[in-house]
Structures are given as structure tokens and as C-alpha cells.
Structure 1
Amino acid sequence: MDAVRGESVVVRAALLRMRRSGLLPVAFGGLVPVTAAQGQQQAPGRVFRITELSGTGTDSLRGLAITTGNGLGGKALAMARPYAVTDYRSSRVISHEYDAAVAAEGLRSVLAVPIVVHRRVRGVLYGALRQPYVLGDRPLSVAQDAVRELEQALAVRDEAHRLLSYAHQPLGGDRRAWEQVREAHAELRALAGRIADVHLRQELLTACARLAAASGPEAAPQPTAAPAVPAAHLTPRELDVLASVASGATNAMAASRLRLRPETVKSYLRSAMRKLGAHTRLEAVVAARRAGLLP
């Protein structure tokens, strides 16, 4: 349910962006359902429900099940491309299974833009007017921009849930498994900074803390006489950089992953090394592991 609520938030944000343009006063849409376990569409490309409404005056569209090929949205879903009609009820290029709901809301000109993530159609956003008007390039561009932003947000959420599902698996003692754990930890920290959903971001950071607190036979090898390392107060960005370095990333790779400049990565790394009393990258990583900051 949390994943569904999070998706609703990003869909509503896209609808509001469409309406703020002033060109599409009514906006609505929905996503094809996915299974929580596998992140796959339950019925790929077959049906979705209109779940989010913005600027509507009735609930006639809420919960409406749109089937592939039917109506304007079903056509956009089937063909994976935008479509628009000047007058919905008299259009000859679409079927009319949903005329009653559209008429109850008083809509005339409507456009539909498919949401495509990883080459899979995940749903449709609509923009509409209550007058018959040719929807040209400007309103279509506004809708497509909103959909592109939504697609990026959904792609990030998909990746976050993929990593979370891995992070929640039981941790074994296999060396290769721990390398994967460290890579997942670094990616989770990098993604957390790009997540607008407060609850999902906290879930990512909680998973990071769980991975960092876990231990394995080779998680943090220590010399026999090595003293205990006090926990250093690293900033979130310092820890992000150190996590990337611990997963084997170069400064350039860490900069790309974290969307930072390479010089900024170097600065964070130097600061982390100083706080950890380390003279090299490897010493900093080992010290952070001993302090329970990294897996």
C-alpha cells in the first residue's frame, strides 16, 4: 500500500504541473497495476483505472477501468503514443465505451499521453477542456513534459524498490554476496537523495543503516591489535561518497552516480578521511566499516 500511495503522489504532481500551465484546466490519469513482489504488470498493457483527478467537478471518471484499444486512453495505451480529439463525443477515430463518464464531467477536447517506463507502458495521463478546441503543440508539449518527469520519478522508484527487495534478503557469509551488498548500499544511498517521497526516502536510509550494521566474516577485517574506531560524525554526502568508494567506484564513477562534480567528490572524500583519521581511501573504508557506518 505504501508503494501505491507513493505512486499516487507522483501522478498527482504531474497532473498539477499540467494544470498550472493554464492550457489544460482538467487533468486525470492512472497507472497499470503491478505486483508488489515482482514489480511486474499484473496484466501487461491490458487495463488500468483512472485513480487521480485534478480540476474535475464530479467523480464520474474516478475508478473508470480503461481497456487497451478502447476510448482515447485505451488507444494511447495500445499504441504507446499520444492522441488527441477535438470533440470526444463526436470523434470518429476512437471507440465510445466511456462517453457517459466523459459527458458527465462535461469534457469535449481531450488528449491522452502514455507513461512509458523501461519500454513498458505504465499508464496514461489525460488533459482536457470543456470546450471543443483543437489541442495543438503547446498543450501537447505541456502534457509530454509532465509525463517525462513522471516517467523519471517512476523509474527511480522502481530502482529503489528493486534495491530494497535485495537489501531485505537474509545476508549470508559469501564474499561475492557481500560485494553485492556493498554495491546495493552505495546505490541505495545515491537514490535516497533523488527521492521526493519522504516515506520512501526514509525506508531507503533505514535499509542502508541495516546493511551497514550487518556483519559478515569478511565485512571488516581487523588486525589483531587494532584499536576500536569511534563512530565519526560524517555528513550524509561524505557517507554517500565513501559508500560509492567502498563499492569499488572511482571518483568519476561516484560523481556520476551522485550527480556531483568530481572535484566535489574529492572534497567530500578528503573530509571523510580526515574525520576517520585515515591517510588513504582504503583506510577510510576500513575505518568506516569498523565504526559500523558501512557494510
Structure 2
Amino acid sequence: MRLDPGANEAVDVRAALSRLRRAGGLPVAFGGLLAGAGRYRINELAGTETAVLRGLDIVQGNGLGGKAVALSRPLAVTDYSTSSVISHEYDAAVAAEGLRSVLAVPVIVRRRVRGVLYGALRRPVRLGDRTVSAAMEAARELEQALLLQDEAAQLLSLALPRALHEQGGPPSTAGDPARWEEVREAHGELRGLAQRVGDPLLRQELLAACGRLAAASSRRPGAEGDAPALSPREVDVLTCVASGATNAEVAERLGLRPETVKSYLRSAMRKLGSHTRLQAVIAARRAGALP
């Protein structure tokens, strides 16, 4: 299974729009992400009565959203069609949907505007601080989700090709300790990211990628046996232990109590037939539970 950025991004945008409507008290919300140089495509709608806004390309600087993108800050107008502070390239689409009071919030990841979210009313009402704050919070959550996806995609692009190459590479490179250490680090980071991801489908994709890394390890020369039936949390604990973390550090990383970490570790050691933490990590690697 491979990470599908487009599909996951759409899920995250929809979640942000749902939060914006719920927390901001706005019946209509729409938005989209970067579609090209200086262009942002509206591809997600919530609470609209028509599809006229879908597929609309917002150019940086144009209209309310384009101006919010250019300034990298939220903007709101009480009556879109008569506002004197924005340009009016998109008046026809806004009027066709019957929108009057509109706000726009840029979505910024690593100092780069990646998208724009809108919330709207069908009557001319000044939007208060509570509504604007709710929209900003929805944008911040979307920013965090996109950042996690970026980090996951980067790790996968580095780790998976290397792991798959190493497992079938010539004797001079297969099992290269330095390269496999990079794969192991990526595996640990991916499992950590999976715990922070809210989208269950994306979490499943990340864990599936972790499984591919571990499977690649089990097919290296010298690897042996099948993976024992370790639980996901037992694998999480062993992954942290393999990085040199103490039980207290493992507990902090995974959001568990130290006693719970000890319980998972004892269970994993029993399943692996190991008597020490190091033996458990080695056995898990040999069995393909860890890369």
C-alpha cells in the first residue's frame, strides 16, 4: 500500500470544513489546496446548494481568498458583492450560491500557503472574533495534518526504496548496517507519526508501510522465521526500545504509563522467547517484526 496524498488531503480538507461550520456557526464552508503557481482550487464544499463553486481556481491576490493568501492572514467581508476592499473576479459564482458575509483563512505549512478555507452566511452580518477564531483553528488543524502527510511521504520516499533495494541487492550491499539503520530510524518515525494522525485511513497506510519495512528486513540474508503475534502496541514499544529509549522515555513518546510500557515489554519478550530488552529487539528483527 502506498500513501495517496491527494485522497488523504481531501479527507483532511473536509474535516477542516466540518470543524469550521460546527465551531464557527457558519452554514456554508468550502475550500481547497494549491493547484499550481499562485492558484488554489476549490474542490471541497459543505452546506452549499449548488456546485457552482466546485473547481473554481482562486488566483493569488484576486477576490477575498486570493487577498487572504497574498497577505497570509484571515480576512472577512460583511457583504461580498459590495465590498470595496477586495476585487470582484468571482462575484458571479458567489452570487449564484447566494453568499453575502464571507471569511477566508489561508492554510500555511512551513511558511508556504498551501490552501484556503472559506466560511459564509447568506445574509450580510459582520462576523465576530469567535467565528474568525474558529476558522483559524480549523485551518491550524489542517496545517498540522498536511505537515504530518509531508513528513510521512518524505520518510516513505527515503526508506521504502532503500529497504527494498537492500533486501535484494548484491552481497556487497545487502544488509549494509549503516543503510539499515536509516531504514530503522524511518520506521520508528513513521510509527510515531501514525499515532498522531487523526485520519484512520492514513494511519492504516502508515502502519502498512511500516509493515513493508519490517517485511523487507525479514527477507534480508540471515533473517529467519515468521513474526510472532505481537500486538501493535508491543511493536510500538519495541520500536522505541530499539532506538535506545528508556521505559520512561517510551511512556512519554507513546502517551502511556511506565507500568503499562513494562507490561507490553514483558509480553513481547515472552512471545519472542527473550530474557532481555536487547534480545527482544534482535529477535523481533530476525522474525521481521522490526526492520
Both structures adopt the same fold (TM-score exceeding 0.5): yes
Please report the TM-score for the alignment, with normalisation by the length of structure 2. Answer: 0.87
The size of the alignment, in residue pairs, is: 279
Asked whether the 8 Å contact 2:226–2:288 carries over to 1, the reply is no
Q: Is the 8 A contact 1:220 1:286 kept in 2?
A: no
CA displacement 1:197-252 (0-9 Å, x = unmatched): 4443333222212211224999878xxxxxx7774322100101101221333434
How is 1:10-29 mapped onto 2 (pairs within 5 angstroms)? 10-21=12-23, 23-29=25-31
Q: Write 1 or 2 for the structure with the bigger share of helix.
A: 2
2:197 to 182, 195, 198: 195
Farther-moved stretch of structure 1 (135-144 vs 162-171): 162-171
Report which stretch shifted further, 15-24 or 60-69. 15-24
Cα distance in 2 for partners of 1:276, 1:70 equals 62
Instruction: Check if 1:254 corresponds to 2:250.
Output: yes
From 262, 282, 285, give the equivalent of 1:286.
282
**1:74: which partner in 2?**
66
Structure 2: unaligned runs, 5 residues or longer: 167-174
Q: Alpha-carbon deviation of 1:144?
A: 1.4
CA distance in structure 1 between the aligned counterparts of 2:182 and 2:249, rounded to whole angstroms: 17
Match of 1:267 in 2: 263
CA deviations 1:240-270 (Å, max 9, x no partner) are: 1101221333434433433334443333223
Judged with a 3 Å threshold, the aligned counterparts in structure 2 of structure 1 residues 22 and 143 are, in CA distance, closer, same or farther, namely: closer
Change (3 A) 1:4 1:218: closer
Q: Secondary structure of the equivalent of 2:95?
A: helix
Q: How does 1:174-253 map to 2 (within 5 A)?
A: 174-215=176-217, 231-253=227-249
TM-score norm. by structure 1 comes to 0.86
Does the aligned pair in 2 maintain the 1:175–1:218 contact within 8 Å?
Answer: no
> Could you list the per-position Cα deviations for residues 91-136 of structure 1 after superposition, in whole angstroms to 9, with x for gaps in the alignment?
1111111111111111111001111122221101000011111101
Hey, what's the Cα distance between the residues in 2 that align with 1:268 and 1:119?
40
Relative contact order (alpha carbons < 8 A, sep ≥ 6): 1 or 2 greater? Answer: 2
Match of 1:32 in 2: 34
CA contact (8 A) 1:14 1:149 kept: yes
* Alignment partners' CA distance in 2, 1:10 and 1:262: 33
Q: % of aligned pairs identical?
A: 67
Q: Which moved more, 1:92-101 or 1:208-217?
A: 208-217
**Is contact 1:183–1:244 with CA below 8 Å preserved after alignment?**
no
Cα distance in 2, alignment partners of residues 264 and 187 from structure 1: 21
Gaps of 5+ in 1: 34-41, 222-227
Q: Which residue number in structure 2 is paired with residue 38 of structure 1?
A: none
CA 1:76–1:290 in structure 2 vs 1: closer, same or farther (change >3 Å)? same
Aligned 8 A contact 1:72 1:83 in 2: yes
